[in-house]
């Protein structure tokens, strides 16, 4: 394996916007080849989490919500932001509880991925939670408008095969789940 990391040198950085849900900066960088890029844009976000949650009966706990970026309503796995100082597993458990009222069960890390390693600073921590059960009702924030649904294994697989899961950070862990556990 090659050991040269080919890192770029940041010559200068300037923040263009700093908001709770959007922080953008412009870097001036120098590549190892000596070439300079005067304007390279980076989006800074906190880490995110998502959860493939499956009940004792084998039902997938999904949410359905409108996504304004693509102007469509879709089925998704539970997801959210890691709060400052919060461990990703705790964030994932909190998000599942808040969005669906489900909890408990057995939790394991499935993967950690980047939404766009070229221009985004954060990672998405993906978890698998099995044998989850309803422990409460939803606890949605004022800005959240989503419904909770229990789908069968075949329904979720059909959503994937028919390209109905549009969020890549949700499709990737679902595809990995089915690659690892398709025979179960």
Mean pLDDT of the region 75-82: 96
How many residues does this entry show for the chain? 184
Closest to 81 (Cα-Cα) out of 94, 64, 63, 70: 94
What backbone torsions phi and psi does residue 76 show, to the nearest 5 degrees?
-145, 165
DSSP-assigned letters across all residues of 29-96: EE-TTS-EEEEEEEEE---EEEEEEEETTS-EEEEEEEETTTTEEEEE-EEEEPPTT--HHHHHHHHH
Cα(156)–Cα(152) distance, integer angstroms: 6
For residue 29, the enclosing domain spans 9-44
* Residue 124 pLDDT > 80: yes
- Average pLDDT (40-49) is 96
Instruction: Please state the pTM of the whole predicted model.
Output: 0.92
For residue 128, what pLDDT is reported?
98
Q: Are residues 81 and 32 in the same domain?
A: no
Are 22 and 107 within one domain?
A: no
Q: Is the pLDDT of residue 182 over 90?
A: no
CATH number at residue 107: 3.90.79.10
**Whether residue 91 sits in one domain with residue 75:** yes
Residue 42's nearest CA partner among 64, 23, 67, 69 is 23
Task: Determine the pLDDT at residue 36.
Answer: 97
Average pLDDT over residues 120-130: 97
The mean pLDDT value for 95-121 works out to 97
4 domain residue, yes or no: no
Do residues 117 and 29 share a domain?
Answer: no
pLDDT for residue 63 is more than 90:
yes
Do 34 and 84 reside in the same domain of the chain? no
Residues 166 and 107 in one domain: yes
**Nearest to residue 2, comparing CAs of 30, 42, 32?**
32
Residue 101 in any domain: the answer is: yes
Same domain for 88 and 139:
yes
Do 87 and 148 fall within a single domain? Answer: yes
> What pLDDT sits at residue 141?
81
SS3 134: strand
Question: Does one domain contain both 90 and 108?
Answer: yes
Is there a single domain that holds both residue 65 and residue 138? yes
Reported as a single tens digit per residue, the pLDDT across 2-43 is 677 889 999 999 999 999 888 999 999 999 999 999 999 999
Alpha carbon 23 to its chain centroid, in Å, reads 18
Give how many domains the chain has, as a whole number.
2
Alpha-carbon distance values, 148 to 76, 90, 121, 127 (Å): 10, 20, 30, 18
Strand ranges (E), 94-183: 102-103, 106-113, 124-134, 146-151
């Amino acid at each position: 394996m090659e050991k040269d990391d080919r890192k770029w040198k940041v010559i200068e950085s300037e923040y263009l916007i700093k908001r709770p849900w959007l922080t953008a900066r412009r870097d001036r960088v120098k590549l190892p080849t000596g070439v300079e890029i005067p304007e390279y844009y980076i989006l800074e976000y906190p880490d995110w989490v998502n959860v493939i949650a499956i009940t004792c009966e084998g039902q997938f706990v999904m949410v359905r919500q409108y996504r304004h970026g693509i102007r469509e309503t879709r089925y998704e796995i539970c997801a959210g932001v890691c709060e400052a100082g919060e461990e990703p597993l705790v964030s994932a458990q909190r998000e599942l509880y808040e969005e669906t009222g489900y909890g408990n069960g057995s939790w394991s890390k499935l993967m950690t991925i980047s939404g766009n390693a070229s221009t985004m600073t954060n990672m998405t921590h993906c978890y698998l939670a099995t044998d989850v059960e309803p422990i409460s009702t939803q606890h949605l924030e004022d800005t959240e408008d989503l419904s909770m649904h229990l789908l069968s294994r075949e329904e979720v697989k059909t959503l994937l095969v028919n390209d109905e899961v549009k969020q890549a950070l949700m499709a990737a862990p679902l595809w990995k789940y089915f690659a690892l556990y398709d025979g179960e």
